[in-house]
């Protein structure tokens, strides 16, 4: 790991993460043996179903107790346990590299915690940064040792670039080999956020959206004349901040967040809001548990 940077987490928090597991709403087929149920049948110790014996089947799987009762041959099928691919999508566009506490750093740490929990269950974790430019991706790591390249990658993801969430989402769904749980960390300050989420929903990912905003966006403490600059190179805007303008801003913000949550609900996306003033440790251990993402 990069020694010039502070670690993402204290060892005490990592020990708490070791006791958590990701929850999935449905079984998904993986590639290698892991610790999760698969829709395929395998050779674990947990019973799944019976099926009639056909020529060429392994006679070692015949249930002889059932044969004694039915006088017919049946195979005993067991639940396969396979790894899942956990997809982490990190919005590192210019608007994310802002705020106090910084939204991009918050997203890095949320993604790192999510990925670490998955690695503890022997799942495979991939990470993709969404800003424009050369593809920035950690192709896939597995097991506890995968935490080192995972943390190193996340700590070194640059911020401040422009991007198009919808275009990036389209490329991702076309390139992803396996579906599985997908975590998107973003402030959604992109005019095409609906198209991006709709595109991700075209593949059977189990999507969790962590919508990250800074306290300065939620409760702006400003008064007077200002010129607002677009962090991603758009046009500037001159405003006069008074009580009425701030009231309208708060109303529009609440309507926007409600619109996002409703949009996600209609597509089976788990929407979780994150205020960066809430410590990441509390967000993971409390909010993600309450929303059924981890246990």
Q: Which residue is it, tokens 């422009």?
A: 162
Tokens of 249: 């801003």
Residue 295 lies in a domain: no
Helix runs in 47-101, H state only? 64-70
- 87 and 73 in one domain? no
Alpha carbons within 13 angstroms on the beta-carbon side of residue 166 total 8
Q: Which domain holds residue 183?
A: 11-26+83-290
Of 105, 103, 115, residue with least CA distance to 208: 115
Here the CATH number for the domain that contains residue 231 is: 3.40.50.410
- 157 and 281 in one domain? yes
Instruction: Compute the residue count for the chain.
Output: 295
Residue 208 lies in a domain: yes
Could you tell me if 231 and 95 are in contact, meaning their C-beta atoms sit under 8 angstroms apart?
yes
| CA 172 – CA 123 distance, rounded (Å) | 20
- 255 and 154 in one domain? yes
Query: How confident is residue 91, by pLDDT bands cut at 50, 70 and 90?
Result: very high
- 124 and 61 in one domain? no
- 150 and 250 in one domain? yes
Residue 2 lies in a domain: no
- 146 and 42 in one domain? no
Could you tell me if 138 and 115 are in contact, meaning their C-beta atoms sit under 8 angstroms apart?
no
Residue 193 lies in a domain: yes
- 153 and 58 in one domain? no
Beta-carbon contacts of residue 278 (< 8 Å; ≥ 6 apart): 287
| CA 283 – CA 272 distance, rounded (Å) | 10
- 93 and 68 in one domain? no
- Per-residue pLDDT tens for 217-259? 999 988 888 888 777 777 788 888 899 999 999 999 999 999 9
Query: How confident is residue 35, by pLDDT bands cut at 50, 70 and 90?
Result: very low
- Tell whether pTM > 0.85: no
Count up the domains in the chain and report the number: 2
Residue 1 lies in a domain: no
């Amino acid at each position: 790991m990069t020694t010039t940077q502070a670690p993402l987490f204290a060892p005490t928090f990592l020990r708490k993460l070791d006791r958590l597991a990701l929850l999935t709403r449905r079984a998904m087929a993986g590639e290698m043996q892991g610790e999760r149920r698969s829709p395929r049948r395998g050779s674990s110790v947990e019973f799944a179903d019976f099926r009639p014996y056909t020529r060429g089947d392994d006679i070692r799987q015949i249930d002889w107790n059932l044969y004694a009762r039915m006088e017919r041959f049946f195979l005993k099928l067991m639940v396969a346990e396979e790894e899942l691919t956990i997809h982490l999508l990190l919005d590192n566009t210019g608007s994310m590299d802002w705020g106090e506490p910084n939204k991009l750093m918050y997203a890095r740490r949320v993604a790192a915690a999510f990925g670490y929990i998955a690695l503890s269950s022997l799942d495979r974790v991939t990470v993709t940064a969404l800003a424009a430019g050369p593809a920035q991706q950690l192709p896939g790591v597995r097991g506890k040792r995968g935490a080192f390249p995972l943390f190193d990658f996340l700590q070194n993801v640059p911020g401040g670039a422009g991007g198009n969430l919808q275009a990036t989402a389209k490329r991702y769904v076309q390139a992803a080999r396996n579906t599985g749980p997908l975590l998107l960390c973003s402030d959604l300050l992109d005019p095409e956020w609906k198209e991006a989420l709709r595109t991700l929903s075209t593949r059977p990912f189990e999507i969790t959206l962590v919508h990250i905003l800074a306290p300065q966006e939620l409760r702006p403490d400003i008064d007077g004349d200002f010129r607002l600059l677009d962090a991603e190179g758009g046009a500037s805007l001159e405003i006069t901040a008074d009580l009425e303008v701030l009231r309208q801003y708060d109303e529009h913000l609440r309507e926007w967040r409600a619109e996002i949550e409703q949009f996600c609900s209609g597509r089976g996306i788990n929407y979780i809001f994150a205020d960066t003033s809430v410590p990441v440790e509390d967000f993971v251990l409390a909010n993600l548990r309450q929303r059924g993402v981890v246990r």
